[in-house]
């Protein structure tokens, strides 16, 4: 039997990372796994650092309001080794509610802030850097996820929990992708939707290797 | 522009379903979408009832402790039109915390209860009915999700948030499937993991149609 999986919300499972709470999170955070530190306590981190590199997928959560969704996204992004998670503002990661759900993921994944008011400019800059901007949204022209081939460098832009993607931002997406839904309810949770997309991206690139 | 997606936790978005709170949830619940009722208020439900049928995937959450995970699973199972969600006990669906997160999903998806102590017997019965029992767990012999071909009739058995799958249940799985993880943290949230598996099942059968 291997390690148990799916351990959720281990609020009391404080690791050595907790010593870092005095760091200034307002600056861009460099996770241990990218530092030149021999970290024998975290062999997987060492392995990741030496042999692996992050996937070129940036998850943009600037429009997300709820802290549990943001914290869950930090955990999922870390586990799939996304390049970066973009939060609406950096003080999110100092909130107790965030920390209890993220289980320290923010220490291992680069996070940066982009408020909604600066998102259009941020997307434009990322496009200039060679990223494709993929909106997770149901539109009249959106592509179904099973049919979508992700470009290697891409930004996944998530809509707001209630309002979805604002119309003025929709026009800034290179493409919109939606998840096929068969039921009565209108939509999946945004953290779940994003996780499915990040998994799909990961699967696609694992297959190509 | 289509409908916004990813609407999360609409606690105040009470629908007409709220009138049903006096129903006895201890009995097996028959959702509206399976009743012989012309329901003009819910055209998608009508469509689903007339033209579609549920997917033959049963999600077994008997070992899950946390209400937000169970409620989130109800929502995800409904959206992917799973055959059934199995909860540890039926009074879960009467809890306010459950209702606020499930956004009434339990009214649209068949739910039933199986306590952990009866799970072995339940799995044995489902196997006799022709279902393959798939454990979502990392083991020395588990198959990676991208490589796994789901049988049409299957039960996805989820482990506990902290302890994972108990050893005595592991031997009852026909197979164990794990999600490839690239990061430092040990494991994904169980609701997220299950959602990724249910999506993968859905995608596979959408492709075959």
- Residue ranges and CATH numbers for the domains of chain B are 27-208 (3.40.1280.10)
**A7, B191 Cβ separation under 8 angstroms:** no
**A170, A158 Cβ separation under 8 angstroms:** no
User: What is the pLDDT, as a whole number, of residue B51?
Assistant: 43
C-alpha–C-alpha distance, residues B19 and B26, integer Å: 17
- Name which of B121, B117, B148 is nearest B134 in CA terms: B148
C-alpha–C-alpha distance, residues B204 and B198, integer Å: 10
What parts of chain A have a pLDDT lower than 50? 1-28, 30, 33-51
**A150, A200 Cβ separation under 8 angstroms:** yes
Q: What contacts B62, CB < 8 A, 6 or more positions away?
A: B86, B87, B88, B114, B115, B116, B119, B122
**A148, A130 Cβ separation under 8 angstroms:** no
Cβ separation B159–A4 shorter than 8 A: yes
- For chain A, the farthest-separated pair of C-alpha atoms sits apart, in whole angstroms, at 51
User: What is the pLDDT, as a whole number, of residue A103?
Assistant: 85
65-124 in chain A: CB under 8 A from chain B: 66, 68-69, 72, 75-76, 78-81, 103-105, 108-109
Cβ separation A48–B189 shorter than 8 A: no
Q: Does B39 touch chain A (CB under 8 A)?
A: no
Residue in A with minimal Cα distance to B48 = A183
Q: Does A172 touch chain B (CB under 8 A)?
A: no
Cα A73 to the center of its chain, rounded Å:
5
Q: B166 contacts in A (CB within 8 Å)?
A: none
Residue B157's beta-bridge partner residues? B60, B135
Rg (CA), chain A: 17
**A68, A97 Cβ separation under 8 angstroms:** yes
The Cβ of residue B40 has, within 10 Å, a number of other Cβ atoms equal to 8
Residue in B with minimal Cα distance to A34 = B184
Rounded (to 5) percent helix, strand, coil in chain A:
40, 15, 45
Cβ separation A8–B189 shorter than 8 A: yes
Report the SS3 class of residue A135.
strand
Determine if residue B189 is left, alpha or beta; phi over 0 gives left, psi from -120 to 50 gives alpha, anything else beta: beta
User: What is the pLDDT, as a whole number, of residue A188?
Assistant: 92
Q: What are the tokens at A155?
A: 């930004």
The residue with tokens 């220490």 is: A107
CA dihedral B114, B119, B124, B125 (to 10 degrees): -10
Report the SS3 class of residue B52.
coil
pLDDT digits (tens, 9 = 90+) for B27-38: 445 455 444 444
What parts of chain B have a pLDDT lower than 50? 1-28, 30, 33-51
The residue with tokens 């992050």 is: A54
Interface contacts (A, B; CB < 8 Å): 236
b/e for A29-58, b at 16 or more Cβ within 10 A? bebbbbeeeeeeebebbbebbeeeebbbbb
End-to-end distance of chain A based on CA atoms, in angstroms?
A: 28
């Amino acid at each position: 039997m291997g390690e148990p999986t799916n351990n959720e919300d281990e609020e009391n499972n404080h690791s050595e990372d907790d010593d870092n709470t005095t760091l200034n999170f307002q600056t861009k955070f460099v996770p241990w796994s990218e530092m030149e530190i021999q970290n024998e306590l975290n062999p997987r981190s060492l392995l990741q650092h030496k042999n692996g590199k992050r996937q070129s997928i940036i998850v943009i959560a600037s429009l997300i309001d709820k802290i549990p969704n943001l914290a869950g996204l930090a955990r999922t992004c870390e586990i799939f080794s996304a390049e970066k998670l973009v939060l609406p503002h950096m003080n999110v990661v100092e909130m107790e509610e965030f920390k209890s759900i993220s289980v320290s993921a923010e220490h291992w994944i680069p996070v940066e802030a982009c408020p909604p008011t600066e998102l259009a400019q941020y997307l434009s800059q990322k496009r200039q850097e060679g990223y494709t901007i993929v909106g997770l949204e149901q539109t009249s022209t959106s592509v179904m996820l099973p049919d979508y081939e992700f470009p290697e460098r891409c930004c996944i832009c998530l809509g707001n929990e209630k309002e979805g993607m604002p119309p003025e931002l929709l026009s800034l997406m290179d493409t919109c992708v939606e998840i096929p839904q068969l039921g009565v309810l209108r939509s999946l949770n945004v953290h779940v939707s994003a996780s499915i997309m990040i998994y799909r991206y990961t699967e696609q690139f694992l297959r190509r290797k």
